[in-house]
Chains A and B, each alone.
Chain A
Amino acid sequence: MSNIRKSFSYFGKSTLLYYLWLFFSSLVSGLSPVLYVYMPKLILDELLSTRQPIILWQYVAILALGALLLNLLRHFANMRFESYSFQALYVLTEKLTEKATAIPYHESESKHTLDLKERATRSLDYLWSLKDVMMTTGSALVTLITSAILILSWKWWLLPLLLGLNLLTIPLLQRLRLLEVDNNERSMPETRAFVYFTEISRDFRYAKDLRLYNGVELMLTRAKASMDKILAVNHEYFTKSGALNGLIMVLVELQSTVVFLILGTALMIRTITVGNFVLIYNAARQFGQVLSVLFEQTRQIMTINLELTSFIKFMALPEIEDFNAENQHEEIVPAVRQAIALARSGQVSLEVRQLSFAYPEQDALILDDLSLSIPSGETVALVGRNGAGKTTLVKLICRLYQPQSGQILLNGVDIAQIPLPEYYRLLSVTFQDFQLMPVLLSENLCGKLQSEQTEDDLEHIRQALRDTEMLSWAEEQKDGIHVPITRLLDEEGAIPSGGQEQKLAIARNICHGGALMILDEPTSALDPRNEEQVFGMMLRLTRGSSSMFVSHRLSSTRYADRIFVLDGGKLIQEGNHSQLMSEDGLYRTMYLAQASQYQDNQ
């Protein structure tokens, strides 16, 4: 039960109301079976004695109206209870999403974390089914108590006898639990694969290749293999649990048999009246049924509790420090404060010292004792072959990963010492696989909701769009600069082309105002005209301030103040274009390789 309780702790204050309505609903629905047990006894007794019509009709009226009232109340309580259940679901899903964002970057890519997240998301479905289980349990509990009272009113020893018979089912239930736990563990690794294969029918990104390369059968064969694995695990579970459930039913029916033997005998030796015979056997049967319902529901609650383990585990994963802006009042060393202030005023110098890095779970060093230095105000280019470590270096500068050894210093201070949210304000980064969010353009650019944007913000946005020559495009759209981007959330959203998207990303960089602008492969998908425009724009906008870009297009990187050539995770050349061209190294080779394609005489 602890996981359920912990899960609800994320729901907050409304939890109390959730439980209150649950209690009320249970109370009311638990009482009505008793009505149906007790009234017939009264009626029968009356019929066997004085048979007064008035009394009979009174009893019928009590039965009918009582049932009506209880049912109406039950439905009403359910209605209120349900609305809290919906709320809980939404709140917990939001927390889950928040957590996904707060997990450190390098953690969020591991299969274990992704599996856990998948499982945690699915466990919230179980939380939803909890409401029905709770209602059933609650009412079963009430019925249990009331029928126990009725049984006790005849012969006290019948109750422990029934209980005893029921308790025989407990070892069976424990076995069932163990089976569930085992099944749960064994099917977890397959969940993501299963989801992948289920999604394949509606993920059209695979459509062309699978057709052209006749890969449909391969896909389906692999899908079947994966699904058969799950079925095999389930087969074992269902077979064993089926037998156990069957045995439980046998014990339940054994009870009924015993009850009728006892009561039948009692009737024969006249230690029970006809009316009570009816009452007690109904009460006893009900007691037995309700007890087994309780056991079943308890088991389900335990299952839900078990499933929620993933949710709790996921929510307990360590977060990026400083993710919540509230925890920012730690000590900031004066040296760090100075470095930040300097950066805010537009001066950023970056130094990489003996940096070594390998990706988690991999041995190969991508960066190998790398050292380089970027003075403030310079535009710097990172070039090199595929796999040289350029993007990796950028990711390390962005603190998405931590190096195995070495440091990165900003204005002389180790970046690890700068509070993360503060640090991100100093950078404006666009990665190669960047994507704008499906919210409004203005919201994408300045990171604030439209309702919270000030006049200043709007002016910044317009200026950034002007600088990137996208203002007229924006103003042509529906709602101008507040147009939704993509049609994901709004049918009338705008869909910018590749080149336009790139320019908007730069506008976002500008709006963000970080003193160090970083662009990773900004033009690889652009046609010549757009490429020229974007690169030109970048160079113009970053003149005098610190910026870094990574690119294969040596025709553009040649204009950087300083070019770093990386190879095998090390820095092998450094200088401006003409210096590097005068050396007989990798840079010259690469540059000429590209340039030769444009020469008229091959």
Chain B
Amino acid sequence: MRPIPYLLKKIRQYDPKMLLMMLVNALLSAAYPFIWVLVPAAILRNYQVWTRQQLILTVVLAGLGAMLAGFVVAWLKGNYRMRMNNVRYQLIRDLARVSLRMPYENTLLPKTLDQINFAHSSVSNPMLGAGGIILGLLPLSGQILSVLGFSSLLASLSPWILILLVVILISNYLIIDQEARFSESMWQSYRPLGRRHMTLQEVISDPLRKKDILLYNTWEMLRAYLRKYADLRLLQDVKASKKHFQFMSTLTLVDLIRDVLVYGWIIRQFALGLMDASVFTLYTAGLLSFMVVSQQLIKNLVDIQLESKRFQNFIDFTLPLEKQFQEMETVHKQNIASDVIVPEIVIENLTFIYPNTTAPVLEDLNLHIPAGEKLALVGENGAGKSTLIKLLCRLYKPSSGRILINGKDIWDYNEEDYHQLFSAVFQDAMLLPFTLRDNITMATDMDTAAFQLAVERSGLSEVINKLPANEDTYLLRILSDEGVDLSGGERQKLFLARALYKTSSKMLILDEPTAALDPLAEREMYERYAQFTQGKTSIFVSHRLASTRFCDRVAFLKDGKIMELGTHDQLIAQKGEYAELFEIQAKNYRQSASVEKGAPEDV
């Protein structure tokens, strides 16, 4: 779909009054410039025959008309701008909705981020993209009408004038359009440079980086980088400016030709006695106004075109996805709630390759997790544990092979229903800058009983009681001055509470949940684990191999496959890699510590 029809549709959806305002503005702003072109001409024609009263009447009437038009046009401009923002904010939220609902896999594709960045820039600034188009639409029809009006006035001089005006108008348009395209393509080609400059600026001024910059005194070096980028950008900017100058000069020359010809014609007519002073005034004023308005029109058209191109990215990104969502809603997929009591998972020949890579992260993986089992998933960094979890959660689609839940392929289910089954705590979970309660419930309402239970079981209640507004305390300081930060351990408890709050979940997945917990909190978690996982199937991912003690079985992942599978004791007896890694960790907990690491002699 094209940007302007799309935006008009959105305007009609979100704020139809704007369309009326556009109409009113068009009529008034088109008529407006004519008033003070016609009045002097009328005076010059009639001053010898009019009475005083007639003069006053004419002028005052015209004046009142101009005042009214002036007032309305000015008032409309402000009001319209505010409404534009309203529409724009809706679009920002639409973009967020689409981005947050699209298949998670899309986040892996660099193309997606690029598209979203473009889409984002077309709605985040009031002057660009959607905002620019909408703001430009207001005066546009008025400008078109004005230009038509003035050109028909001038055309009455002679049909040749009309042809000349049209030709010059078109050539002006072509020149300005050409320039816009040119500068767009220049901008595109050195956008990476601009992006890097901005990224670097953001990185340096990110509060999280500050400690390192201070402690290692790296500011001067970073500043040198900033300057390097700034210098390169300046070179480009100057080049672009020069090109702009060339275009503008061409434009000026073309206008010169027009002005000379039209003026010459007017003078000739006058000299031949074919017009009088009043008409002369009319035409020369008309020419001046025409020049001004046509330039405004062309500039507006070109800007709208430019911003349309930018905004097209928004449409190209959101429309297909929105259609997809609609389709998914109508396709009847099996409702999962009735099918699954406690999930049994079967993974068959699962292979997964990240986009734009060749080596599979998971290769022909097979695993059977009986209903209600507490499985520990262990392996070294980069073995693919998190990837497997994401595949289970339906965040990624397998490259080949499948995952069955109670015998049915997980992709046969409705996505939302399927996600109801899962509570997962990932390593890189983020706090939302809302209240603590919001962070746990992830909804605008709350099940009080479930909330209390979740908060107790996760150990978060101690944390909550220390906070100024308990669970209504805001986290982070983005929305509230009194926002609070949580320590690593407190966060972990909160994320656990969130996972436990979801009473519909039958599958609990914890990815490195104890990394930030102190030894006692860690032990507490393990002790309560049986409690959390009652009636559920669960997967505990960790490389603290001790955590596997309270799980039913251990799956050891390496090179994309499950290399070892069994209870902890079975795997120790096998003396494979699991046993080796376990020993590496365990030996330091023995009374007689070895001297291998160069540690001082122990008692």
Measured between C-beta atoms, what is the minimum distance from B129 to chain A in Å? 12
Tell whether B360 is near chain A: CB-to-CB under 8 Å: no
For the complex, give the distance between the alpha carbons of A91 and B515 in Å. Answer: 43
For the complex, give the distance between the alpha carbons of A13 and B545 in Å. Answer: 64
- Residue interface mask A206-235, B partner, CB < 8 A = 1: 111111111111111111101100110011
Give the contacts of B525-554 with A (CB-CB under 8 A). Answer: 526, 543-547, 549
Measured between C-beta atoms, what is the minimum distance from A287 to chain B in Å? 14
Is there an interface contact between A67 and B259, defined as CB atoms closer than 8 Å? yes
Is there an interface contact between A277 and B223, defined as CB atoms closer than 8 Å? no
Closest A residue, CB atoms, query B429: A209
Tell whether A472 is near chain B: CB-to-CB under 8 Å: no
Tell whether A281 is near chain B: CB-to-CB under 8 Å: yes
B interface secondary structure, majority = helix
- What class of interface size applies to chain A in its complex with B? 35 or more
* Cβ–Cβ < 8 Å partners of A375 in chain B: none
Is there an interface contact between A590 and B520, defined as CB atoms closer than 8 Å? yes
Measured between C-beta atoms, what is the minimum distance from A358 to chain B in Å? 13
- Residue interface mask A38-58, B partner, CB < 8 A = 1: 001001100110010100100
* Cβ–Cβ < 8 Å partners of B581 in chain A: 527-529
* Cβ–Cβ < 8 Å partners of A112 in chain B: 481
Measured between C-beta atoms, what is the minimum distance from B398 to chain A in Å? 17
* Cβ–Cβ < 8 Å partners of A361 in chain B: 482
Identify the stretch in B61-69, B146-154, B327-335, B369-377 within 8 Å (CB) of chain A at 4 or more residues: B61-69
For the complex, give the distance between the alpha carbons of A154 and B402 in Å. Answer: 92
Give the contacts of A173-217 with B (CB-CB under 8 A). Answer: 192-193, 196-198, 200-202, 204-217
Is there an interface contact between B63 and A202, defined as CB atoms closer than 8 Å? no
Give the contacts of B391-445 with A (CB-CB under 8 A). Answer: 393, 395, 416, 419-420, 422-424, 426-430, 432-434, 438, 441-444
With A213-B502, A598-B585 as known contacts, state yes or no: A193 contacts B479, CB within 8 Å: yes
With A105-B214, A209-B426, A535-B597 as known contacts, state yes or no: A76 contacts B522, CB within 8 Å: no
Tell whether A457 is near chain B: CB-to-CB under 8 Å: no
A interface secondary structure, majority = helix
* Cβ–Cβ < 8 Å partners of A507 in chain B: none
With A197-B96, A253-B63 as known contacts, state yes or no: A268 contacts B518, CB within 8 Å: no
Tell whether B349 is near chain A: CB-to-CB under 8 Å: no
Tell whether B10 is near chain A: CB-to-CB under 8 Å: no
For the complex, give the distance between the alpha carbons of A91 and B544 in Å. Answer: 50
* Cβ–Cβ < 8 Å partners of A198 in chain B: 92, 120, 123-124
* Cβ–Cβ < 8 Å partners of B5 in chain A: none
With A246-B70, A598-B589 as known contacts, state yes or no: A424 contacts B82, CB within 8 Å: no
Tell whether A597 is near chain B: CB-to-CB under 8 Å: yes
Give the contacts of A407-456 with B (CB-CB under 8 A). Answer: 421, 424-425, 427, 429, 431-435, 437-439, 443, 447-449
With A64-B263, A75-B245, A590-B519 as known contacts, state yes or no: A555 contacts B218, CB within 8 Å: no
Is there an interface contact between B221 and A524, defined as CB atoms closer than 8 Å? no
Is there an interface contact between B442 and A208, defined as CB atoms closer than 8 Å? no
Is there an interface contact between B598 and A543, defined as CB atoms closer than 8 Å? yes
Identify the stretch in B37-45, B171-179, B448-456 within 8 Å (CB) of chain A at 4 or more residues: B37-45
Is there an interface contact between A253 and B66, defined as CB atoms closer than 8 Å? yes
Is there an interface contact between B67 and A253, defined as CB atoms closer than 8 Å? yes
Is there an interface contact between A488 and B199, defined as CB atoms closer than 8 Å? yes
Give the contacts of B87-103 with A (CB-CB under 8 A). Answer: 89, 92-93, 95-101
Is there an interface contact between A398 and B215, defined as CB atoms closer than 8 Å? yes
Closest A residue, CB atoms, query B100: A216
For the complex, give the distance between the alpha carbons of A100 and B549 in Å. Answer: 48
* Cβ–Cβ < 8 Å partners of B92 in chain A: 197-198, 201, 223, 227
For the complex, give the distance between the alpha carbons of A532 and B252 in Å. Answer: 74
For the complex, give the distance between the alpha carbons of A86 and B235 in Å. Answer: 10
Measured between C-beta atoms, what is the minimum distance from B130 to chain A in Å? 13
Is there an interface contact between B443 and A215, defined as CB atoms closer than 8 Å? yes
Tell whether A252 is near chain B: CB-to-CB under 8 Å: yes
For the complex, give the distance between the alpha carbons of A497 and B386 in Å. Answer: 14
Is there an interface contact between B584 and A213, defined as CB atoms closer than 8 Å? no
Tell whether B280 is near chain A: CB-to-CB under 8 Å: yes
Closest A residue, CB atoms, query B568: A600
With A211-B104, A214-B419 as known contacts, state yes or no: A448 contacts B547, CB within 8 Å: no
Closest A residue, CB atoms, query B420: A214
- Residue interface mask A553-592, B partner, CB < 8 A = 1: 0111011010000000000000001100000000001110
For the complex, give the distance between the alpha carbons of A554 and B381 in Å. Answer: 21
* Cβ-defined partner of B259 (8 Å) among A64, A96, A555: A64
Tell whether B256 is near chain A: CB-to-CB under 8 Å: yes
- Residue interface mask B210-238, A partner, CB < 8 A = 1: 11111111110111111100100110011
Is there an interface contact between B210 and A108, defined as CB atoms closer than 8 Å? yes
For the complex, give the distance between the alpha carbons of A556 and B585 in Å. Answer: 10
* Cβ-defined partner of A47 (8 Å) among B213, B271, B419, B444: B271
* Cβ–Cβ < 8 Å partners of A221 in chain B: 444
* Cβ–Cβ < 8 Å partners of B600 in chain A: 559, 561
* Cβ–Cβ < 8 Å partners of B487 in chain A: 386-387, 391
Give the contacts of B76-128 with A (CB-CB under 8 A). Answer: 76-79, 81-82, 85-86, 89, 92-93, 95-101, 104, 107, 113, 116-117, 119-120, 123-124
Not counting A117-B205, A384-B518, a sample of 9 additional A-B residue pairs whose C-beta atoms are within 8 angstroms of each other reads A47-B267, A53-B271, A75-B252, A111-B481, A198-B120, A238-B82, A245-B75, A386-B518, A543-B598
19 CB contacts below 8 A, A to B, read A47-B271, A51-B271, A63-B263, A65-B256, A67-B256, A76-B245, A197-B92, A202-B99, A207-B100, A234-B85, A264-B43, A364-B466, A431-B212, A489-B200, A524-B516, A527-B380, A536-B597, A578-B602, A596-B523
Q: What are the nearest 7 A-B pairs in CB distance? A: A257-B63, A597-B546, A386-B489, A242-B78, A249-B70, A555-B588, A215-B442
